[in-house]
Amino acid sequence: MFRAVAVPVIGAAVLTLPTLPTPAQAADTQSLVDALRAAAGKPPGVRATFAKGQCVRGTYTPSADAGQVTRSLSFTRPWPLVGRFSVGGGNPSAPDTTKTVLRGFSIKILSEGGDTHLLFENAPVHFARTLDQMLGFLQVRAPGPDGKANPEAIAAFAKANPETTRQSAFVAGKPLPGSYAGIVYWGVHTFTGTNLAGQTVPFKFKVVPGAGEIGLSDEEAKGKSAQFLVAELTERIARAPVTFDVVALLAEPGDDLTGDITQRWKNEDERRALKLGTIAVDALEPNETCDEGIFDPGRLADGLGAPDDEIFAARRTAYGISFGQRAK
């Protein structure tokens, strides 16, 4: 499915983790978390988004080509991992049969001397270009006095901000996911690897299911319960580990590396890809294992540079704020 290629030298500098947010950015991030919770009706004790999910455990095994992209111990050696499959939004009881809601997959590669945490979702783009746009998107979806959002306000915002419709259009164009194990997940942001030769390699993560994409027709979906995904995953893992290829989509000249994450790179599905390794999920894990902390998007082992866009910079703060609220 993927072919190994020579990785171009993009530059000699190594990206570093983003600096701590300024007070103004932290205030914006608090507003985002509040808006996420408001859009979901403020259920207590749950994540601000991707509130519904199942913790799992497994392993990561590197491919022979991983060192062409990154020297990171997390990706060039085998390790155990903890993961969490999830359904988007802040409703912990969201029906699995809702087609337009995002599905997520978060992992912690438990590499000695420096773990790596990564967040993936079943769309290759984010739903907002800037923090202000993200806040506006969420605020128009807050329930009114009748407990419902105003569809006219949502439509007006979408018309004024067309880039906020790209993610939902992508998800709506796919069949309802029939299994957590049959979803293609993306990292959305541009990371920068420092490879074994000391070269910097910008790329995006793509996580491809070994079982292929598993989708349900509208008729098949009618026969599914609102909570079928975990039951299906349980039965599947009992037969064999669930596997995914972790793939690096390599940047090309002219790609936007730091700006609009509501847009894909040109010909992204057809471009050069390099397999970093394989994830094998072999057991369900008690949800308490995942709930006792966070999947911290800023936690990256040496050899993997953080994305340089404002949405990613806000995410680390947002996850910490959300954890503090649900832990009360």
pLDDT score of 152 more than 90? yes
* pLDDT in the model for residue 328: 66
* pLDDT in the model for residue 22: 47
Instruction: Say if residue 319 carries a ligand binding annotation.
Output: yes
Phi, psi of 325 (to 5 degrees): -70, -40
pLDDT digits (tens, 9 = 90+) for 196-249: 999 999 999 999 999 999 999 999 999 999 999 999 999 999 999 999 999 999
Give the residue-averaged pLDDT of 9-36.
55
Phi, psi of 172 (to 5 degrees): -65, -25
pLDDT score of 6 more than 50? no
- Is 0.85 topped by the overall pTM? yes
Give the residue-averaged pLDDT of 292-305.
93
* pLDDT in the model for residue 63: 98
DSSP string computed for 115-143: -EEEEEESSSS-S-SSHHHHHHHHHTTS-
Give the residue-averaged pLDDT of 14-31.
51
| Structural contact between residues 37 and 48, judged by C-beta atoms closer than 8 angstroms | yes
* pLDDT in the model for residue 21: 44
pLDDT digits (tens, 9 = 90+) for 46-89: 998 999 999 999 999 999 999 999 999 999 999 999 999 999 99
- pLDDT band with cut points at 50, 70 and 90 for residue 26: very low
- List, in sequence order, every residue forming a beta bridge with 116; answer none if it has no partner: 109
Structural domains of the chain sorted by starting position, each given as residue range(s) with its CATH number in brackets: 23-326 (2.40.180.10)
pLDDT digits (tens, 9 = 90+) for 155-197: 999 999 999 999 999 999 999 999 999 999 999 999 999 999 9
In percent, the amount of the chain with pLDDT more than 90 equals 76
* pLDDT in the model for residue 258: 85
